[in-house]
Amino acid sequence: MAETHVLMERLEKAVIRLESLFSDSHRSSAVEYEAVNGVSGGVAPYVEAFDRLLNGSVAEFLRNSRTLEGDVKTHAEMVRAAFQAQRSFLLLASQYQEPQEGPVASTMSMRSILTSGQCVSLPPPPPPPPGPPPLFDTENPKDEATASRSALFAQLNQGEAITRGLRHVSDDQKTHKNPSLRAQGPPVRSPTKSHTPSPTSPKTPPRQSHSPVLELEGKKWRVEYQDDKNDLVITDTELKQVAYIFKCNKSTLQIKGKINSITVDNCKKFGLVFDNVVGIVEVINSRDIQIQVMGKVPTISINKTEGCHIYLSEESLDCEIVSAKSSEMNILIPQDSDYKEFPVPEQFKTAWDGSKLVTEPAEIMC
Q: Which pLDDT does position 140 carry in this prediction?
A: 57
Q: Which pLDDT does position 352 carry in this prediction?
A: 95
Indicate if the pLDDT at residue 344 is higher than 90: yes
Q: What is the DSSP letter of 56?
A: I
Q: Which pLDDT does position 71 carry in this prediction?
A: 80
| The model's pTM | 0.45
Q: Which pLDDT does position 151 carry in this prediction?
A: 65
Indicate if the pLDDT at residue 152 is higher than 80: no
Class (C level, CATH) for 213-365: mainly beta
pLDDT tens-digit series, residues 52-98: 888 888 888 888 888 877 788 888 888 888 888 888 777 777 776 65
pLDDT category at 106 given cuts 50, 70, 90 is very low
pLDDT tens-digit series, residues 180-217: 666 665 555 555 555 555 555 566 666 668 999 999 99
CA-angle at 230, arms to 225 and 234, nearest 5°? 75
Mean pLDDT in the chain?
Answer: 76
pLDDT category at 120 given cuts 50, 70, 90 is very low
% of the chain at pLDDT higher than 70: 58
What is the crossing angle of helices 70-93 and 2-25, to 10°? 20
Q: Which pLDDT does position 173 carry in this prediction?
A: 66
Q: What is the DSSP string of 125-175?
A: PPPPPSSPPPS--TT-HHHHHHHHHHHHHHHHTTGGGGGTTSPP--GGG-G
**Residues with Cβ < 8 Å from 241, sequence gap 6 or more?**
216, 219, 220, 221, 259, 260
**Per-residue pLDDT averaged across 296-314, rounded?**
96
Indicate if the pLDDT at residue 128 is higher than 70: no
Strands 268-277, 249-259: pairing is: parallel
